[in-house]
Structure 1
Amino acid sequence: MAEELKITAYLKPTCGWSGGIRAVLAKYGLEYEDKDIINYPENYQEMVQKTGQPYQPCVEIGETMLADVSGDELESWLVQNSFKVAGPEPEVPTDSSCTDEEHEEMARVAQSQPVEISFKPQQ
């Protein structure tokens, strides 16, 4: 069944919830398209349009959309739909947000990146 289904995951590049989704998809050996909703605003807009809500992660499996879902919730759905484990147990939490340390690292990286500002003349 898994081979027939296209899987699209709307995720943040670094996020505890998104990491949990990636870990569960790896555990079940499922190939998927990882759509970055932070660096590609069009992916975020697509997610909101498809789900009718702004929260992530969201995972589309065939015609089923799991919106604002945790790794644990995704795994429950996979089990209920007869998917079989094909990989190792996740090494990251599948039911939590980023740690304080991860948030601090993201803030540090964001502060170290140059910001480009442009002004349009008023008419």
Structure 2
Amino acid sequence: MNQPKIIAYLKPTCGWSQGVRAILRKYQLPYEDRDIINVPAYREEMIRKSGQPFSPCVEVDGELLADISGQELEDWLIAKGIVEASDHPVDAPTDQGCSGEHHGEIPVRLNF
């Protein structure tokens, strides 16, 4: 089976991004990890390709999956026949969100 070309637009520590990485490791799929936090050009590229600002986004052989969890990615990969379902455990939660600090959010102070 040919390995698909995978580009993953991810945050370094986000729970959703870690879930996508866990699925790609589970199936030993090589991929390019594009850090959308530390490389603004990758974030701009992701937004341009996906038409939206939410991550993770994963491109598999030119097909873009926007705002996807690791579990959704695994389901898609199986449905497309790219991988066969496996009960091999993953090393990170595949559907866990991030807390605000993972998004680089700055608290807003309102003064009334």
User: For the superposition of Structure 1 and Structure 2, which TM-score range results when normalised by the shorter chain?
Assistant: 0.7 to 0.9
User: Percent identity of the aligned residues?
Assistant: 51
Pairwise CA RMSD:
2.2
**1:1-123 equivalent positions in 2, closer than 5 A:** 1-3=1-3, 5-82=4-81, 83-84=83-84, 88-98=88-98, 103=101
> Residue 98 of structure 1: CA displacement?
2.9
Q: How many residues align?
A: 102
Q: Highest CA radius of gyration, 1 or 2?
A: 1
Unaligned residue ranges in structure 2 (runs of 5+): 103-112
With normalisation by structure 2, the TM-score equals 0.82
> Residue 99 of structure 1: CA displacement?
5.6
Q: Which has the higher helix share?
A: 1
> Residue 91 of structure 1: CA displacement?
2.1
With normalisation by structure 1, the TM-score equals 0.75
Unaligned residue ranges in structure 1 (runs of 5+): 107-123
**C-alpha distance in structure 1 between counterparts of 2:30 and 2:87, whole Å:** 12
> Residue 13 of structure 1: CA displacement?
0.4
Deviation >4 Å, runs of 4+: 85-88
